[in-house]
Amino acid sequence: MEILRTRLIPAALLRAASTGAFQVSGPLNYRHGGRVQPLASDEERARQQVHEPASGRMICDFICSGQQEVDLAVQSAKEAYVTWSRLSGLERSRILLEAARLIREQREDIAIVESINTGKPISESRIDVDTAWQAVEYFAGVAGTLAGQHIQLSGGSFAYTRREPLGVCVGIGAWNYPIQIACWKSAPALACGNAMVFKPSPLTPLTAVMLAEIYSQAGVPNGLFNVVQGAEETGSLLCRHKGVAKISFTGSVPTGSKIMETAAESIKHVTLELGGKSPLIIFSECDLENAVKGALLANFLSQGEVCTNGTRVFVQRDILSKFLKKVVAKTKEIKIGDPLLEGTQMGALITRPHLDRVLSYVKQAKDQGANVLCGGDLFVPADPKLKDGYFMKPCILGDCSDEMICVKEEIFGPVMSILPFDTEDEVVQRANNTNFGLAAGVFTRDLTRAHRMAAALEVGTCFINNYNVTPIEIPFGGYKMSGFGKENGIATVEYYTQLKSVYVEMGDPDCPY
């Protein structure tokens, strides 16, 4: 297929991303397009290149936002917050519904940009865009329902509570689900009456800019949702900023830990969506075909670059050989290649160093005695344009044990480790024997066992007879070192608001003096 791949990304978008900062409005925005030019000269700013994982080619580069851009973004968000927070929920809802409609309308454009930038198959990017507009639509609905409580007290006195926004929230995203993360953070933040400054990963800066344009078109007030671009330094400036009330972070455990430390300096609210090493537990009475599907969904979506992935696949010993035969055969059939082609089932990993890191985990696993049942090596597509892409074949490691590094550490690539087990008690103990607690999966036809397992597993989400499904209605977030705070579902309101109590005296104050 003769396509000029990077031409598929609108030039205006590349320009918008490359200015290093995007602001829906504010004191220094351009009248048309609402973009802010970095204030410092190019020489003073770090530049960041962005590559297309499938071809290795550079898509664009941008100048990282520094202190001045961060100050501007926070200041204009603060100003916009004053008006936005005073709107009724229904008024905010109307604007967010229009934003959801626009994301739906631009679904294909956003999905193409997302696939070029992340390397994931277009079919998956479309689903990511769906989860993005669904978040905006869902929280648009929630906006009108925010309410406090009335509490009756003695002597006719009473109290009431007010659910109030926090102020300027910062959203910081990982590179694996850029548009989804931007919406899962901004939609509840804005619905609850907050402003947001969002920083996408420097590897995937593009679709957050598309979202900012959409919010602007939908009628979100100027300055309320701003995008700044950059890496660790820019993120750290945002987290330290005195004008920021809350940080919602999605990324790795070490970065989450640093962010929590920074936030502690000025007592900011924090939500952390971090990494995982989730167990997928397959009992012998399960529907085997479905369990195989579950294992594939739990390991190979988005090239395995999914935080919730059930990479420790515990299989009850009496069905081990049947399960392995089926899962290895299916894995070998996975169509790897151009993320933009319909029918591609696995695209390219995010960067060359990340690909090398994943491959080195496979090598280390072999050195520690694991048996490579399939994949685990480079894949070179037939298309010469993709010869420098970061592709690998999905891998299944047999004969694993709980002490192996591939079983203990988050690999964040398409590598499934198989761990046989005998009893329910044993598997619960082994599944929980980790510092992570993001998710788990259980395949069984035994109803009581399913619910016993759901209660026993120390995780934020437990999937029964499915995996990696994240409907917007369900709260999502980790236990243990996988983080705290929730995204999605009505529970999210708690994390983007604060509760004020108002005491009303109806008699005379009872005063001893």
Q: Active-site positions?
A: 273, 307
Binding to ligand NAD by residue 273, rule CB under 6 A?
A: yes
Is the Cα torsion angle 460, 463, 468, 470 positive or negative in sign?
A: negative
**Angstrom distance (rounded) from CA 230 to CA 242:** 19
> According to the binding rule CB under 6 A, does residue 172 interact with ligand NAD?
yes
Residue among 274, 415, 416, 456 that touches ligand NAD (CB under 6 A): 274
| 3-class secondary structure per residue, 266-333 | CCCEEEEECCCCCEEEECCCCCHHHHHHHHHHHHHHHHHCCCCCCCEEEEEHHHHHHHHHHHHHHHHC
173 binds ligand NAD (CB under 6 A): yes
- Determine which residue in the list 85, 123, 252, 498 makes contact with ligand NAD, applying CB under 6 A: 252
Q: Is 255 in the site for ligand NAD (CB under 6 A)?
A: yes
Choose which of 21, 259, 301, 346 interacts with ligand NAD (CB under 6 A): 259
Candidate ranges 21-29, 47-55, 127-135, 235-243; the one touching ligand NAD (CB under 6 A) = 235-243
Q: How far apart are CA 359 and CA 393, in angstroms?
A: 10
The residue (of 182 and 319) whose beta carbon lies closer to ligand NAD is 182
Q: Determine, following the binding rule CB under 6 A, whether residue 176 of this chain makes contact with ligand NAD.
A: yes
Q: How far is CA 253 from the centre of its chain?
A: 14
C-beta nearest to ligand NAD: residue: 235
Q: How many residues bind ligand NAD (CB under 6 A)?
A: 30
64 touches ligand NAD by CB under 6 A = no
Q: Which among 313, 307, 287 has a CA at the least distance from the CA of 417?
A: 313
Q: Which is nearer to ligand NAD, 452 or 480 (CB)?
A: 480
Does the footprint of ligand NAD cover residue 207 (CB under 6 A)? no
Site string for ligand NAD, 430-449 (x = CB under 6 A): --------x-----------
Give the range of 37-45, 99-107, 272-280, 384-392 binding ligand NAD by CB under 6 A: 272-280
Residue 77 found at the interface with ligand NAD (CB under 6 A): no
Distance of alpha carbon 372 from alpha carbon 375, whole angstroms = 7
Assign residue 498 a region: left if phi > 0, alpha if psi is -120 to 50, beta otherwise?
A: beta
User: Pick from 21, 218, 239, 362: which binds ligand NAD (CB under 6 A)?
Assistant: 239
Selected from 55, 125, 201, 216, the binder of ligand NAD by CB under 6 A is 201
Chain centroid to Cα 472, Å, comes to 13
The alpha-helical segments, DSSP class H, found in 167-281 are 178-191, 206-218, 232-240, 253-265
275 is a site residue for ligand NAD (CB under 6 A): yes
**Eight-class DSSP state of 490:** G
Verify binding: residue 278, ligand NAD, rule CB under 6 A.
no
Rounded Cα gap, residues 59 and 14, in angstroms: 8
**Token couple for 360:** 């080195």
Closest approach of ligand NAD to the CB of residue 149, in Å:
31
- For position 79 contacting ligand NAD by CB under 6 A, the verdict is no
484: contact with ligand NAD by CB under 6 A:
no
Residue 98: which residues within 8 A CB-CB, separation 6 or more?
Answer: 217, 218, 219
Among 68, 236, 368, 466, binds ligand NAD (CB under 6 A): 236
Please check whether residue 276 is in contact with residue 482, taking contact to mean a CB–CB distance below 8 angstroms: yes
Q: Count of alpha carbons within 13 Å of 156, Cβ hemisphere only?
A: 4
Nearest residue to 209 (alpha-carbon basis) of 11, 380, 485:
11
Q: Closer CB to ligand NAD, residue 140 or residue 228?
A: 228
CB neighbours of 323 closer than 8 A, spacing ≥ 6?
Answer: 282, 288, 291, 292, 295, 315
What track of x and - describes contact with ligand NAD for positions 367 through 406 (by CB under 6 A)? ----------------------------------------
Options 94-102, 195-203, 205-213, 362-370: segment touching ligand NAD (CB under 6 A): 195-203
Provide the 8-state DSSP code for 254. H
Segment contacting ligand NAD by CB under 6 A, of 74-82, 255-263, 280-288, 316-324: 255-263
Query: What string marks each residue from 285 to 324 as x (binds ligand NAD by CB under 6 A) or -?
Result: ----------------------x-----------------
Query: Residues 6 or more apart from 36 whose CB is under 8 A from it?
Result: 19, 21, 22, 23, 26, 28, 29, 30, 69, 72, 73
For residue 463, state whether it binds ligand NAD (rule: CB under 6 A): no
Q: Which residues in this chain contact ligand NAD in the complex, by CB under 6 A? A: 172-177, 199, 201-202, 231-232, 235-236, 239, 250-252, 255, 258-259, 273-276, 307, 410, 412, 438, 478, 483
